[in-house]
Amino acid sequence: MTLRHLRIFFAVCEEHSMTKAAARLYLAQPSVSLAIREMEEHYGVKLFDRVSRRLDLTEAGKQCYAYTTHILTLVDEMEQGIRRFDSHRLHIGCSLTIGTCLLPAIVSQFKEQHPQTEISAQIENSERILSMVSDNALDFALVEAIPNDPQLRKEQFLTDTLIPVCAPFHPLSREANVTAEQFASFPVIMREKGSGTRELFDSVMLMHNLVVNPLWVSTNTQAILSAVSAGIGVSVLPRLLAEDAIAKGEIVEISTRDLSFSRAFYLVYHKNRYLSSTAEAFLSLCRNACTVALCAQN
């Protein structure tokens, strides 16, 4: 027995007529008659007494009507409840850079438009976040690493630049056109493997035939900034994360000749993941160039 049978049976009970029930459901009258006959054959009972042109429920029909009413009420409540849940909850994953520099501003703007939406965020390195998207544990993610999993779809939504930095009193702060070899000759402080920043740094250095083993490795960008400002070593950091410290004079950007670090930020989601209307609205906000520019300035 299907929900279609039950909805037809319910309409016939309410209208006391197959013709009126058919009109109410926008069905042909023979389709309604067939559904009622199939139900009676399935249960082996008569559901209606056919008196004149009016259909009245038998005792078995009354019991079936009570069950049907209960079932359809639960189904309708489920439909409404799931739709409300779908519209008011998002679980987002972010890399540390995006989670620090962009996500708060994007979420703030989104909440102005969708105040009832509950947004939870998982902020980890890109490798960990992409793994969670692959496991279908997140609605979608914003990362700077390119996903290799063929099950994941990606969309570029912003370009980012990384810059070499050092302390204001570091020898490289007074040099112009620093080469990759010069940069690598000093102790390097970097993010951990698995982060988008580290992945880009390693690939650019390999283009210069250099393999750099960092002196310090940290998952915390603030710890890296503090170590660089103390003169412990040099680093490469996202401009978005470093610009405040540069403005305060805590670190300086190194003038380089042949070191260029640029990358894209990506929206990533599982190709089999259902994206709710709320998720689509959030992704549209991320794709909006004006919104991204506003976020980058905040």
Domain with residue 24: its CATH number is 1.10.10.10
Res 86 pLDDT > 60: no
Q: What percent of the chain has pLDDT over 70?
A: 94
Please state, rounded to an integer, the average pLDDT across all residues of the chain.
89
For residue 231, the model assigns a pLDDT of 96
Q: Which tens digits make up the pLDDT trace of 13-44?
A: 999 999 999 999 999 999 999 999 999 999 99
Of 86, 105, 129, the residue at which a domain comes to its end is: 86
- Which comes out higher in pLDDT, residue 87 or 280? 280
Nearest partner of 259 among 207, 221, 213, 216, judged by Cα: 207
pLDDT band for position 191 (cuts 50, 70, 90): very high
**Same domain (yes/no): 281, 233:** no
Q: Count Cβ atoms within 10 A of the Cβ of residue 84 and give its class: 0-12 exposed, 13-18 middle, 19 or more buried.
A: exposed
Residues 42 and 176 in one domain: no
Total number of domains constituting the chain: 3
* Shared-domain flag, residues 80 and 136: no
Query: Is the predicted pLDDT of residue 65 greater than 90, yes or no?
Result: yes
Instruction: Examine the domain organization and report whether 17 and 74 are in the same domain.
Output: yes
Confidence of residue 87 (pLDDT cuts 50, 70, 90): low
Which letter does DSSP use for residue 208 in this model?
T
Tell me, yes or no, whether 107 and 122 share the same domain: yes
What CATH number corresponds to the domain at position 114?
Answer: 3.40.190.10
Are 63 and 95 found together in one domain?
A: no
Q: How far is CA 98 from CA 37, 253, 277, in A?
A: 61, 21, 23
Q: Both 60 and 178 in a single domain?
A: no
Predicted pLDDT at 211: 93
Domain that holds residue 110: 89-156+266-297
| Residue 73 and residue 115 in one domain | no
Amino acid at 56: D
Same domain, 142 and 164: no
How many angstroms separate the CA atoms of 89 and 84, rounded?
Answer: 9
Same domain, 255 and 166: yes
Give residue 297's pLDDT. Answer: 42
Residues 152 and 275 in one domain: yes
Q: Are residues 94 and 147 in the same domain?
A: yes
Alpha carbon distance 298, 277 (integer Å): 27
What is the model's pTM? 0.62
Categorize the per-residue pLDDT at 6 as very low, low, confident or very high, splitting at 50, 70 and 90. Answer: very high
